[in-house]
Amino acid sequence: MRLCRVVGVVDGDTVLLDFDGTATRFELLAINAPEYIERDPSPRAHARESWFALKSLVGGEWVYVHRDPAVLEDAAGRATGFLFRSPDMLLVNLEMVRQGHAEHQPKRSVMFADSLSWWQRHAVEAEKGIWGDEPGVLVDPAPEVPVPEPMPELLPVPKVVPTAIAPTPERTVFLTKSGSKYHTKDCRYYSPGCTEVPISEARKEHEPCKVCKPDQPGG
């Protein structure tokens, strides 16, 4: 399927798609909606309602184009197919039928025919859209947004390998053979016979020397 943007909505079953920078008329396959002509003094019943519904669904949106190999063009030579709205993958042709804004045309394509027929029966029973007596009240949609830059290709996310951080070595102090305090190597009570231990171990049974003050920064 090809991804492109809807740059215009002609009526309830026709849109303009941006194919490589060119606005191309595209017919929604297997459905038919009342033809809408802007500024027509006597528009067909439900024509503007159907146009409005399709514009609300896909106006300015990105869509995936799915073609039926058996029906690439309509009788007038215009491109035709099914639209899936990005990113929720809503089948637009089916949604127009489900809401009662278009009629299923089973002879035009067999694709999705069962689903289209099933939802049309429910739309007819509920008298939705074109199956009702009077068109509903419309509220004009927001203005179309400017055409954005083409969607960039998704690049693979680089794998980040965490760098191992070496643990900070624990500071050591010195214990005399018979004393109850621990000292730095610069202390006057230090001697080559002192035992070097981690400061956390020394604190368990000894007190810091009041002369060299090993607990203070730089001790």
Domain CATH number, residue 124: 2.40.50.90
Q: Is residue 105 part of a domain?
A: yes
Cβ–Cβ < 8 Å for 78, 129: no
**Same domain assignment for residues 28 and 105:** yes
Same domain, 90 and 192: no
In a domain, 158, yes or no: no
Reading the block at residue 120, the tokens are 């049309």
Whether the full predicted model's pTM is greater than 0.85, yes or no, is no
Nearest to 19 by CA among 34, 6, 32: 6
- Domain tally for the chain? 2
pLDDT of residue 165: 56
Domain boundary among 106, 131, 156: 131
- Residue 150, pLDDT score: 59
Task: Supply the range of the domain harboring residue 38.
Answer: 2-131
For 82-100, what is each residue's pLDDT tens digit? 999 999 999 999 999 999 9
On the question of pLDDT at 143 being above 50, the answer is: no
